[in-house]
């Protein structure tokens, strides 16, 4: 599956955003404005000036909506949620070549809030996945106790864990130890 750079960047941002949600033993990764500022910096979200509590609440709201997209059972349900997010953001597609990146499309309107910016760009990235008939690539980690979101970009759509070095390896080691215990009797 060929994914342009800007779409991949937006997919990475939406996955990271969804994974900031507080779940089970995980704290809210966007608990305050400083955490939102760090998220914006880490993902090089362009056109964002000052951030405040209102921005934080708005981004937390779209985070919840994006989490719903990952939980939908089918493309039609995902498309409905994505359409709502993108429409509410007031998209204004425009070509740009800023910060050393070649030409790519921004979907947010000039001067958009950070929430609208993320809703538009990340929503369109998810829309491209749905349009490609690849909604099943929007997954949650299968490791017990994890459940983090990820986009399975493996060639054969076989990825099961958010990170094979942590969740996948932990399960493989546990299975190996169980087999050894069983064999030892």
pLDDT of 160 over the 60 cut: yes
Per residue in 81-94, pLDDT (tens digit) is 999 999 999 888 88
Tens of pLDDT, residues 95-151 = 888 777 788 888 888 888 999 999 999 999 999 999 999 999 999 999 888 899 999
Q: What is the pLDDT of residue 47?
A: 81
> pLDDT class for 177, splitting at 50, 70, 90?
low
pTM summary value: 0.86
Percentage above 70 pLDDT, the chain: 92
pLDDT at 168 over 60: yes
Cα–Cα distance measured from residue 19 to residue 166, given in angstroms and rounded to the nearest whole number: 15
- Rounded Cα distance, 117 and 110, in Å: 9
Helix H, strand E, coil C: the string for 86-147 is HHHCCCCCEEECCCCCCCEEECCCCCCCHHHHHHHHHHHHHHHHHHCCCHHHEEECCCCCCC
**Does 172 score more than 70 pLDDT?**
no
Largest CA distance in the chain: 67
The string of pLDDT tens digits covering residues 37-46 is 999 999 989 8
Provide the pLDDT for residue 169: 62
């Amino acid at each position: 599956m060929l994914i342009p750079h800007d779409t991949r960047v937006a997919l990475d941002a939406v996955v990271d955003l969804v994974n900031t949600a507080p779940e089970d033993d995980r704290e809210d990764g966007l608990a305050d404005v400083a955490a939102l500022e760090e998220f914006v910096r880490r993902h090089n979200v362009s056109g964002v000036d000052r951030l405040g509590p209102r921005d934080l609440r708005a981004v937390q709201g779209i985070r919840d909506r994006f989490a719903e997209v990952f939980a939908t059972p089918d493309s039609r349900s995902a498309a409905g949620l994505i359409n709502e997010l993108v429409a509410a953001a007031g998209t204004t597609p425009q070509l740009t070549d800023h910060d050393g990146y070649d030409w790519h499309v921004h979907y947010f309107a000039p001067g958009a809030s950070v929430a609208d910016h993320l809703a538009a760009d990340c929503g369109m990235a998810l829309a491209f996945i749905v349009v490609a008939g690849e909604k099943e690539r929007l997954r949650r980690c299968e490791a017990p106790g994890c459940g983090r979101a990820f986009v399975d970009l493996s060639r054969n759509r076989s990825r099961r864990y958010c990170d094979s070095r942590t969740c996948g390896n932990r399960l493989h080691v546990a299975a190996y130890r169980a087999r050894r215990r069983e064999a030892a009797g």
